[in-house]
Every structure is written in C-alpha cells, then in structure tokens.
C-alpha cells in the first residue's frame, strides 16, 4: 500500500466517522425534540383539563347562585304575604328575678312545714289497676312522682 492509498483510506475513515458522529448527534436531537414535544403536549393537555374543570366549577356555582336567588325571592314573597305576627313582649329582667325569688320563698316555706305522714291505705286490687293503688290523693301522687323519679 502506498501512502496515497493510506491517506485516502484515512480520509474515507475520518469522513465515515464524522458522518456517524453527525448521525448520532442528529438522533440525539430528534430524541430530545420528541421528548420535549411530548412534555409540551402533556402540559398543554393538563392546562386544558384544568381550564375545563375551572369552567365547569364556575358554571355550577353560577347555577347554584341563580337557584339561591330564586329561593330568596320566593322566601321574601312568602314573608311579605304572611300577616305580621305580633311580637311577644318579654318580661323585664327585674320581673323575672322577682318571680324566681317568690318561687324560691314558696319552696322554702313548703319544705319548712312539717308534712303529715300519709296513712297507710289498703290497696284495692282492681284487675285494671295493674298493681297500682286505685284510690290515692293528689298529694300522694305528687310525692310518689317526686320520690320515684
């Protein structure tokens, strides 16, 4: 082999090597471009979905607002149609305190008075009485209710 042939072979090899490296670089750029394009498309789809959800939420809120306004108008109409109900006059706080004091005094007087022991009554057994005394006084019934509960 002559030097010329070897130089030509080297040039060819260098050229082929250079072409391979350019091809590899081109493939890398294509791959990166494809990845970037895919990411951009995914981001765009995500943004579109987010915008769609936001619009749906706005529409839902607007519909709910309209419904609430209609209900409010109906309530106002019904309120206007109802006759005015007279307001109950609240007793003054001093009157309430006086009533409470009187009740306490009455309770104290009742507790201080000795209560006569109720006489033992024979229980009349009536089939409809379910085992309870059938003839008792009102006072005995009240005492029984107080002590039983």
The DSSP result for 78-119, as a single string, is HHHHSPPPPPPPPPPHHHHHHHHHHHHHHHHHHHHSPPPPPP
Q: Is the pLDDT of residue 79 over 80?
A: yes
CA distance 11 to 17: 10
Tens of pLDDT along 130-139? 566 567 777 8
Share of the chain residues as helix, strand and coil, in percent rounded to the nearest 5: 75, 0, 25
Q: Which residue has the higher pLDDT, 97 or 1?
A: 97
User: DSSP state, 130?
Assistant: T
Tens of pLDDT along 23-67? 999 999 999 999 999 999 999 999 999 999 999 999 999 999 999
pTM assigned to the model: 0.39
The angle at the Cα of 25, spanning 20 to 30, to the nearest 5 degrees, equals: 125
């Amino acid at each position: 082999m002559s030097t010329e042939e070897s130089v030509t072979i080297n040039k060819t090899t260098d050229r082929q090597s250079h072409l391979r490296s350019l091809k590899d670089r081109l493939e890398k750029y294509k791959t990166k471009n494809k990845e970037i394009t895919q990411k951009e498309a995914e981001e765009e789809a995500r943004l579109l979905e987010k915008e769609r959800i936001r619009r749906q939420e706005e529409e839902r809120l607007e519909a709910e607002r309209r419904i609430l306004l209609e209900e409010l108008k109906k309530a106002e109409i019904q309120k206007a149609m109802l006759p005015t109900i007279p307001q109950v006059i609240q007793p003054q706080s001093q009157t309430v305190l006086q009533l409470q004091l009187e009740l306490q005094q009455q309770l104290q007087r009742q507790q201080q008075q000795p209560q006569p022991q109720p006489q033992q009554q024979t229980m009349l057994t009536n089939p409809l009485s379910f085992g309870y005394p059938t003839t008792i006084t009102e006072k005995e019934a009240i005492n029984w209710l107080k002590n039983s509960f």
